[in-house]
Structure 1
Amino acid sequence: MQLQYTNLGEGESIVLLHGLFGNRNNLNTLAKYLAKSFNVINVDLRNHGESAHSQSHDYLSMAQDVVETIQQTSIEKYHVLGHSMGGKVAMQIALNFPHHVNKLIVEDIAPASYPDRHSAVFEALQALDLEHLKDRKQALSELNAHLNDINTCHFLLKNLKNDGQKWYWQMNLTTLKNCYTTICGFPGKETAFHNPSLFIKGANSDYLQAQHSRHIAQYFPAFTAKIIEGAGHWIHSEKSAVFNKIVLDFLQK
């Protein structure tokens, strides 16, 4: 599947991959920072942003999407950075297509299966009556009544669009819900990726834990890890200056 993306800067290439319910705009601050030294390819994954919808949403397919999209640009080698779900896609690319990947950077996720963390989000999104929705203010109020988390609501509502006649979700909400068990998992591979890999954890997040070290070492034996204090799961926005510098230092090392 051909994906939508933006391209900034010149030099070695790095591909940026957003998380669940996101789009390429989530990593724009990092993209602009890295574009001073790199060619940055910032991607909308399938069923997200401006990329096409599909009834499938698994890591093998998403990795294939990214590789095929980059091949269209005639770029053969690149770094890959992914946040959360995008981090799992990045890991799968490194494992399945190691000949294309120079360095791997994973933001706050492990190559492991996770329990359900988003059932309330799916319920809130599906409860929103788009047919009778008046405006974004109403959407925000109704979402927050379900989630009681205004920052998450603002993030989710970046997916809410209006074509002049009706409101709709830009993301493929139906497929994401149907495939959520697959999204929580990680297929992995019997082989390992031996190039340098960096795993960045937010100190206040519980996505990356000590027990995940063995999973990471199994797949990415040349990995190093960084912990950023004062950050949760969204390190690139919560501590952008520190995060950006760590990423750049690793790429230029």
Structure 2
Amino acid sequence: MLRRLPRGSARSPLPPPAARSAVTAVPLAHAEMGVRGTRPPLVLLHGLFGSHGNFQTVAKALVRRVGGQPDLVERLISVDIGPTSTALISEFPAYISAMKSVNIPAGLSRSAARQLADSQLSSTVQDPQLRQFLLTNLVEVEGRYIWRVNLDAISHHFADIMSFPVFHKPYPGPVLFLGGSNSPYISSKDYPEIQRLFPKADVQFIEGAGHIVHQDKFEDFITAVLNFLPPP
């Protein structure tokens, strides 16, 4: 079930930003679904602690129902995140600390290692689905189980990761901010900045969903995405 908020009026754009420093491109791990065609692609980007496998079920469902999906980006969907800093509301620092404290003896099977890590995380990460999401980062390397994400680097740069860059020129295309009704990551305090940067934005909440919206309410999520995308 979707709860939709009214669109706000656009504000006048501010002067263009100062020149930014050059950025070096790096190759990204990715997976392609479906057959390349004449339509523009639909690109799914995961969040913190995610990987290119997180949206495979979503991608396959969208390929079956809409095929492939101009300037460079024709429209955007932001899933349970707004254009503001979320460092103060995020529980990830506690999750990182819990992940660092996980202790798994060498020689365990993968299933036994995951069960032990799940048990050790449970006192801090109480949501079982969220624990399973974090455990996708537990990998075996030379007989030892480690976290494939760089927890120290994430901890050190957490404030930067959870902040949002300062932009002055708004994005003119249609945007859907799709949040979970049980998640704090999009709130009324974000609406002025959403309206300033994305004057054609529509904000919707899926009832009963937390931060991992597509996992909590899969069909509602797919329906909202399909309703926002242009028809085939």
Normalised to the residue count of structure 1, the TM-score between the two structures is 0.71
The structure with the largest alpha-carbon Rg is: 2
Whether the aligned pair in 2 keeps the contact of 1:14 and 1:38 (CA below 8 Å) is no
Give the C-alpha shift of residue 129 in structure 1: 2.7
Counterpart-to-counterpart distance in 2, 1:125 and 1:4 = 23
1:7 aligns with 2:32: yes
2:153 corresponding residue in structure 1:
175
1:102 corresponding residue in structure 2:
74
Letter in 1 for 2:154: L
Gaps in structure 1 of 5+ consecutive residues: 41-76, 78-98
Counterpart-to-counterpart distance in 2, 1:180 and 1:144 = 22
1:230 corresponding residue in structure 2:
208
Q: Report percent identity of matched pairs.
A: 32
Within 5 Å, give how 1:1-253 maps onto structure 2.
1-10=26-35, 11-36=39-64, 37-39=66-68, 77=70, 99-114=71-86, 115=88, 116-130=90-104, 134=108, 135-252=113-230
Deviations 1:146-195 (A, max 9, x none): 43333322211111111342212122222211111111110131111001
Whether the aligned pair in 1 keeps the contact of 2:185 and 2:211 (CA below 8 Å) is yes
Give the C-alpha shift of residue 211 in structure 1: 1.7
Q: 1:39 to 1:163 in 2, by over 3 A?
A: farther
Say which structure is richer in helix: 1
Gaps in structure 2 of 5+ consecutive residues: 1-25
Normalised to the residue count of structure 2, the TM-score between the two structures is 0.78
> Any idea what SS the aligned residue of 1:7 has?
coil
CA RMSD of aligned residues (A): 1.9
Worse overlay, 143-152 or 107-116: 143-152
Say which structure is richer in strand: 1
How many correspondences in the alignment? 196
Higher relative contact order (CA 8 A, sep 6+): 2
